[in-house]
Amino acid sequence: MDRRNFIKKTTATSAGLTLSPYFTSVFTKNSNKIASLMGGRFVTFCIMIRVTPWEVSRDVKLLPDDESPYHTLEVVRDMREAFAENNPEGRLTWGFTLNALEDKRSNYSDIRKYVKECYEKYGDEVSYFPGYFPAMYLPRERVNKEMSEAIEIISDFVGNGYRPQSIMGGFLAADSLKYLAEKEDIHVAHATIWSQHAVDGGGADGSPSYPFYPSTEHFCKPAQGKSDFIDCVNLDGWSVDFLSAIHSGGFQGTTPYNGISSRRGVGPIETYCDLGPEIGHLSVMFTQSLHFDSGFELNGFGFVPNIWEAILVKQPARKDWGDQYILDMLKKWVGETKKRWEDVQFITFGEFGEIWRNHYTNNDKWNYRFEEKGLGIANSYPDKEIKWFMNKNFRLALLRNWHRNTPEKVIDFTRYDIPANEPHGATPENPKKDWSLMNVMNQKRLRPQDKPLPLHELREEDKLLIAKYYPELF
């Protein structure tokens, strides 16, 4: 629905409801401040609440460990207060797995009551998080059915006609995004994990890293026109270092400081838990600068998504750091982000998706560009420079050694104007783990055709397509 209908649907006059501070602050008092995409710097932050690791459904739990002792009212309250300490106006998204929504134990009941209070007090979003990879293990019909069940549960316990603006999906198939838009009237989803491949048992590399409307053919592919258009904005979950992302797989190496982590960026596991408080924080702030400094200049706005699992408070990667460590790092990240970029807005995933959707009605006009020279930590190589170009028809990455002033080479050219197909037939017994969209050339360099090439050595038809958007490259 458009912004006016959204306001109408949630006002006291239309439904006899008390207007939440969320809607008051977002669409009334501060509408001039945050309604515009261009000129804004946005962080979307989610706290994930679960019962076991890698939950996919009520009865599909890839790891059976019971994490309930680490999910307490104290933990989530401390996380929310740490987030607010230097950011009193900030709003966040709470992502519950289906088990966490239905668990009748007192700790989960208390958490749900507290999150309802956070919605009423701060305007937080309460959303469903169906594990990270439901599409890898479940048929689409079951994923869709359980999304509807979860939305109903959330509406019931939050009350007053509440419905989430977004779903936190990890990977969600195109059919599920279409279902959200058409059956649930939800038009925003965290449905891709940008650059992910061979991490956590699966992958889905190939999409743009910033928001886009997905195609009915593949959730990583931007819709090309009305015939394949899904009106559900697809958001990433974590901003990553673009140079770290050119690798496949997770942690590799003898120490965190020389090891490869393709997911290193703003996520706490790969930074604060892996690199420690100083170097980890440096990595986080550097990644954000790619979006809030150079990226802001190139794109007209900056977007940093981030997700922290509540389990990290009681189970940090280094036990000698203690329970307070993650909370201290949360305060440090939020506080120093606000200090460095004073205009940054911490808002919900759904809120940001609707702001983007209000600005772009289709995929025709966005044209994202990013530039990075490596940080010098692990595989953010200090001598490498990467440039990304992303639009409706393709994404293109160029890499060079800027210390030696070597020529740029193409390391990724993914065309979106040709047919794409998603895996089908996933079940818990027969998972479909690779949902990547790879065609001409992919940054992970997993196939013979992924060997880097100078731009002028691409096929003539590919060069003509690139030149339509970026003639200066030739």
Residue 463: how many other CB atoms lie within 10 Å: 15
pLDDT for the residue numbered 107: 97
pLDDT for the residue numbered 393: 98
pLDDT for the residue numbered 263: 87
Pair of tokens at residue 58:
């009520």
Beta carbons of 187 and 233 less than 8 angstroms apart: yes
Do the domains at 32-359 and 368-473 have one common CATH topology? no
Token pair 């959330």 is found at 154
Strands 125-128 and 167-168: unpaired
Beta carbons of 453 and 237 less than 8 angstroms apart: no
Pair of tokens at residue 323:
């329970």
Beta carbons of 136 and 434 less than 8 angstroms apart: no
Pair of tokens at residue 62:
């890839």
Token pair 């809120």 is found at 351
Residue 376: how many other CB atoms lie within 10 Å: 11
Distance separating alpha carbons of residues 118 and 10, to the nearest angstrom: 18
pLDDT in tens, the chain (474 residues): 333 333 333 333 223 333 333 343 443 333 334 469 999 999 999 999 999 988 888 888 777 789 999 999 999 999 999 999 999 999 999 999 999 999 999 999 999 999 999 999 999 999 999 887 888 899 999 999 999 999 999 999 999 999 999 999 888 999 999 999 999 999 999 999 998 876 766 788 999 999 999 999 999 999 999 999 999 999 999 999 999 999 887 655 555 555 678 889 999 999 998 889 999 999 999 999 999 999 999 999 999 999 999 999 987 555 567 779 999 999 999 999 999 999 999 999 999 999 999 999 999 999 999 999 999 988 899 999 999 999 999 999 999 999 999 999 999 999 999 999 999 999 989 999 889 999 999 999 999 999 999 999 999 999 999 999 999 999
Q: What is the CATH number of domain 32-359?
A: 3.20.20.510
pLDDT for the residue numbered 34: 46
Whole-model pTM: value is 0.91
pLDDT for the residue numbered 319: 59
Token pair 């009605």 is found at 361
Distance separating alpha carbons of residues 220 and 194, to the nearest angstrom: 9
Pair of tokens at residue 211:
């928001």
What residues contact 355, with CB distance under 8 A and at least 6 apart?
34, 35, 36, 37, 40, 42, 347
pLDDT for the residue numbered 316: 58
Strands 188-190 and 167-168: parallel
pLDDT for the residue numbered 35: 66
pLDDT for the residue numbered 195: 84
HEC profile of the chain = CCHHHHHHHHCHHHHCCCCCHHHHHHHHHCHHHHCCCCCCEEEEEEEEECCCCCECCCCCECCCCCCHHHCCHHHHHHHHHHHHHCCCCCCCEEEECHHHHHCCCHHHHHHHHHHHHHHHHHCCEEEECCCCCHHHHCCHHHHHHHHHHHHHHHHHHHCCCCCCCCEECCCCCHHHHHHHHHHCCCCEEECCCCCCCCECCEECCCCCCCCECEECCCCCCECCCHHHECCCEEECCCCECCCHHHCCCCCECCCCCCCECCCCECCCCCCHHHHCHHHHHHHHHHHHHHHHHHHHHHHCCEEEEEEEEHHHHCCCCCHHHCCHHHHHHHHHHHHHHHHHCCCCEEECHHHHHHHHHHHCCCCCCCCEEEEEECCCCCCCCCCEEEEEEECCCEEEEEEEECCCCCCCEEEEEEECCCCCCCCCCCCCCCCCCECCCCCCECCCCCCHHHCCECHHHCCHHHHHHHHHHCHHHC
pLDDT for the residue numbered 321: 73
| Domain residue limits, the chain | 32-359, 368-473
Q: State the CATH class of domain 368-473.
A: alpha beta
